[in-house]
Amino acid sequence: MSKKSTTLFDIPLYNGKYSDFITKIQNPEKKTLVFTPNPEIFVRASRDSEFMDILGQATYNVPDANGLYVGYMM
């Protein structure tokens, strides 16, 4: 996972500028795996350890919903 990350429900999330993220994925130094988890994915991962492991292998998990951001801020 990227150095700029935080976790939500034990899933590491990218926590940097959007412009930096776009630059990184447009010019990757190695193979890059990007997931955009939404609330449904977090619920599934909380119940399915194999799915949680897959999310943990991502180069970047970029939140896909404002609800995740609000949850993180609480």
Which of 59, 45, 47 lies closest to 13 in space, CA to CA? 59
Per-residue pLDDT tens digits for 14-29:
888 888 888 988 988 8
**What's the half-sphere exposure (Cβ side, CA atoms, 13 Å) at 69?**
9
- pLDDT value of residue 48: 95
Instruction: Give the total residue count for the chain.
Output: 74
Q: What is the DSSP secondary structure assignment for residue 35, as one 8-state letter?
A: E
Per-residue pLDDT tens digits for 50-61:
999 999 999 999
Instruction: Please give the helix or strand (H or E) that residue 7 lies within, else none.
Output: strand 5-8
Total domain count, the chain: 1
d(CA 71, CA 27): 31
Domain of residue 50: give its range. 5-73
